[in-house]
């Protein structure tokens, strides 16, 4: 059956409203889209790393999660959900349960690219039947917009402020999706909010129903950290895709497949100009920064195209 957003939205939301995430934040949209990709009859245990998502959805005595949910700590969502998944295997073997359960972990880029990297790598390498979703908002937003290894080059954050000597973050963004591919897991994909959310929804379904470990990297902008008006969320993600800053692709059993190729690849300014964190790059004398970012984006894009042709 082909994808239809109206039909999708008829499914019961598995994350209820009333949580305390900001308007215009990508994270809860990603969560709801991904959980909608579960077959409605299947049970799930959801895990979240300590993050905005966790502290805003499970404030005692309330929870926004309709499925069983576990939060453990900042750096161990990968290990925690792998423990739950292993318990499922153990209980199934002993005849204690017979229904189908799925296991999905969410972490921000801080909890995934950085402090939770080892735990994630371990879980992926061991091949648990699970999906790890990184909602990548490119900085430590929960503590107030500090740089992470996912923060893009030159971005202004509270620990890489644009200063008179140092012009924002000095390093490029780490390519975590490729690192996950290197784990040899059966399914890896990169996605964000585009159009009717078909791309994210279909990738989530594949990730959840591919046996073994799967990884989804979701660009999930943060209006406070990126400094865009909250209603412009999907304008920002669309620009990320059309400039090839955040290409949509998947890697199935090691095979790279491009999900979308812009007809006219837009210059990076079209993406950068929408966000306050890059405002300094448009100051007179800072043109070199934009040029450099353009070169980096071009190089990564060409590399990805080659991988997809192979």
Partner 1 sequence: MGIRERLSGNEAVAVAMRQINPDVMGAFPITPSTEIPQYFSTYVDNGQVDTEFIAVESEHSAMSTCIGAQAAGCRAVSATSSCGLCYMTEMLYVAASDRLPITLAVSCRALSGPININNDHSDAMGVRDTGWLMLFAETNQEVYDNYLQAMRIGEAVELPIMICQDGFITSHAIENIELVEDDKVKAFVGEYNPKHYLLNKDEPMAVGAYATPTYYMEAKRQQAQAMIDAKDVIRKVGAEFGEMTGRTYGLIEKYMMDDAEEAIVIIGSSAGTAKAAINELRAEGKKVGLIKIRSFRPFPSEDIAEALKNVKAFAVMDKDDSFNAHCGPIYAEVCAALFSNGVVGPKGINYIYGLGGRDVRIESIKTVYAELDKIVETGCTGETYRYLEVRE
Encoded one letter per residue, x for contact with partner 1 by CB under 8 A and - for no contact, window 122-141 reads: xx-xx---------------
Taking the complex as a whole, the smallest distance from the CB of residue 117 to partner 1 amounts, in Å, to 11
Among 25, 29, 38, 80, interactor with partner 1 by CB under 8 A: 80
Taking the complex as a whole, the smallest distance from the CB of residue 129 to partner 1 amounts, in Å, to 12
Do 64 and 228 touch, CB atoms closer than 8 A? Answer: no
Helix 117-126 / helix 77-93 crossing angle, nearest 10 deg: 30
| Dist CA 157 CA 141 (whole Å) | 10
Phi and psi at residue 71, to the nearest 5°: -110, 135
Among 10, 96, 299, 306, interactor with partner 1 by CB under 8 A: 96
Among 2, 12, 40, 93, interactor with partner 1 by CB under 8 A: 93
Say whether residue 13 binds partner 1 (CB under 8 A).
no
Among 43, 255, 283, 306, interactor with partner 1 by CB under 8 A: 43
In DSSP terms, which residues pair with 48 in a beta bridge?
Answer: 71, 106
Say whether residue 94 binds partner 1 (CB under 8 A).
yes
Could you tell me how many residues of this chain bind partner 1 (CB under 8 A)? Answer: 48
Residues with Cβ within 8 Å of residue 88, at least 6 apart in sequence? 45, 97, 101, 103
Q: Which stretch binds partner 1 (CB under 8 A): 116-124, 253-261, 263-271, 295-303?
A: 116-124
| Dist CA 228 CA 205 (whole Å) | 30
Provide the token pair at 174: 């780490």
Cα 104 to Cα 15, 93, 188, 230, 280, distances in angstroms? 13, 21, 14, 27, 38
Among 59, 166, 170, 257, interactor with partner 1 by CB under 8 A: 59
Cβ-based nearer residue to partner 1, 121 or 172:
121
In DSSP terms, which residues pair with 15 in a beta bridge?
Answer: 65
Q: Is 174 helix (H, G, I), strand (E, B) or coil?
A: coil
Say whether residue 37 binds partner 1 (CB under 8 A).
no
Give the residues lining the site for partner 1 (CB under 8 A).
43, 45, 47, 54-55, 58-61, 63, 65-73, 75-76, 78-91, 93-94, 96-97, 99, 101, 118-119, 121-123, 125-126
């Amino acid at each position: 059956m082909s994808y239809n957003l109206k039909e999708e939205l008829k499914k019961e939301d598995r994350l209820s409203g009333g949580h305390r995430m900001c308007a215009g934040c990508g994270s809860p949209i990603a969560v709801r889209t991904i959980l909608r990709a579960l077959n409605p009859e299947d049970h799930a245990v959801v895990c979240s790393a300590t993050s905005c998502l966790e502290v805003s959805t499970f404030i005692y005595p309330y929870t926004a999660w309709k499925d069983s949910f576990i939060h453990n700590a900042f750096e161990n969502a990968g290990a925690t959900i792998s423990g739950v998944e292993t318990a499922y295997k153990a209980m199934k073997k002993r005849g204690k349960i017979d229904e189908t359960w799925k296991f999905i972990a969410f972490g921000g880029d801080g909890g995934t690219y950085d402090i939770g990297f080892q735990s994630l790598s371990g879980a992926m390498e061991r091949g648990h039947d699970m999906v790890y979703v990184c909602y990548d908002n490119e900085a430590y937003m929960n503590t107030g917009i500090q740089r992470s290894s996912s923060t893009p080059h030159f971005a202004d954050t509270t620990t890489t402020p644009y200063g008179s000597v140092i012009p924002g973050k000095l390093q490029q963004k780490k390519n975590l999706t490729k690192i996950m591919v290197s784990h040899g897991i059966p399914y890896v994909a990169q996605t964000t909010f585009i159009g009717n959310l078909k791309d994210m929804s279909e990738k989530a379904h594949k990730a959840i129903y591919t046996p073994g470990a799967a990884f989804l990297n979701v660009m999930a902008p943060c209006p406070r950290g990126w400094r865009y008006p909250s209603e412009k969320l999907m304008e920002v993600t669309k620009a990320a895709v059309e400039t090839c800053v955040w290409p949509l692709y998947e890697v199935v059993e090691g095979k790279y497949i491009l999900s979308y190729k812009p007809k006219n690849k837009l210059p990076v300014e079209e993406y950068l100009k929408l966000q306050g964190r890059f405002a300094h790059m448009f100051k007179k004398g800072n043109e070199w920064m934009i040029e450099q970012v353009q070169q980096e984006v071009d190089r990564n894009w060409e590399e990805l195209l080659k991988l997809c042709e192979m």
